Amino acid sequence: MVRKMIIKALVENTSDYEAFGCEHGLSLYIETSKHQLLFDSGASALFAENATKMQVDLSAVDLAVISHGHYDHGGGLKTFLAVNNHAKAYLQQKAFGKYYSRKPNGEKKYIGLDQALVANERLVFTEHQHIIDSELELFSGVKANRFVPTGNQDLLVKVNDTLKQDDFAHEQNLIIKEDGKTILIAGCAHNGIVNILEHFYTERGSMPDFVIGGFHLYNRSADRSENPKTVKQIGEYFLTTKAKFYTCHCTGLKSYRFLKGIMNEKIDYLSTGNEIKI
């Protein structure tokens, strides 16, 4: 009997269950045949509180991946390193840049990771491609060619004391290969989920069987969803891949419902407390 991969949403913007808290952030627990891994750690220690309620033992996790250098994906990293004394945490080498969000009133708010963690000896910094083992691989370096999230215009990086448009070079994606299936997991898809998929196809000559993560079709700072015309085009593109999609977090519920209307059973929402088996 083939053992199914298990994916649990430890934290996400929404929750279907009163027992689990939710926040603007993302954290997934994933069990494969070889690993118990954490993909992102949410904005706070909430992911760990929910993990206990979901009977997930974070001390048994053997590795963690932080998708990019924003607090809503790596804000719980300090907590993870405290409750787990051995797992390595993989981050893109630019993840500890100084990242900011521009609010509608013009305020610039720091949204990066805790700089005090950068010297932790358990952190592993990756480049464009990083093969962990025969099952897991990370990649970055995606070119933002089309369908780039409009919310990116309010996201900045400080370079030499000057705030500039973030190019999201610090964003990485996870590939899991198991039992003949390939799963692509993205944190926020700031470089555009279509571009991430096309980068995947260019490198591999095929599309993944499953795609999981946030697709950044909602601008939280401006409280604005992506243009429905753009969402329609993205949904139609998704259908050409033949993959099954699970989305969450920064996709936004309005854009998700629009995608659901286009894709039907080919897309579902992954909320805090939900579990899927692949």
Q: What is the full per-residue pLDDT of the chain (278 aa) written as tens digits?
A: 457 899 999 999 999 899 999 999 999 999 999 999 999 999 999 999 999 999 999 999 999 999 999 999 999 999 999 999 999 999 999 999 999 999 888 899 999 999 999 999 999 999 999 999 999 999 999 999 999 999 999 999 999 999 999 999 999 999 999 999 999 999 999 999 999 999 999 999 999 999 999 999 998 888 899 999 999 999 999 999 999 999 999 999 999 999 999 999 999 999 999 999 99
The pTM is what?
Answer: 0.97
In the chain, % helix, strand, coil (3-state, to 5) comes to 25, 30, 45
Residue 1 inside a domain? The answer is no
Q: What CATH number has the domain bearing residue 273?
A: 3.60.15.10
For residue 45, how many other CB atoms are within 10 A of its CB? Answer: 17
Find the domain containing 12 and state its range: 6-277
For residue 164, how many other CB atoms are within 10 A of its CB? Answer: 11
Helix (H) or strand (E) holding 38: strand 36-39
Residue 169 inside a domain? The answer is yes
Residue 171 inside a domain? The answer is yes
Domains in the chain, number: 1
Report the alpha-carbon distance of residue 174 to residue 91 in Å, rounded: 11
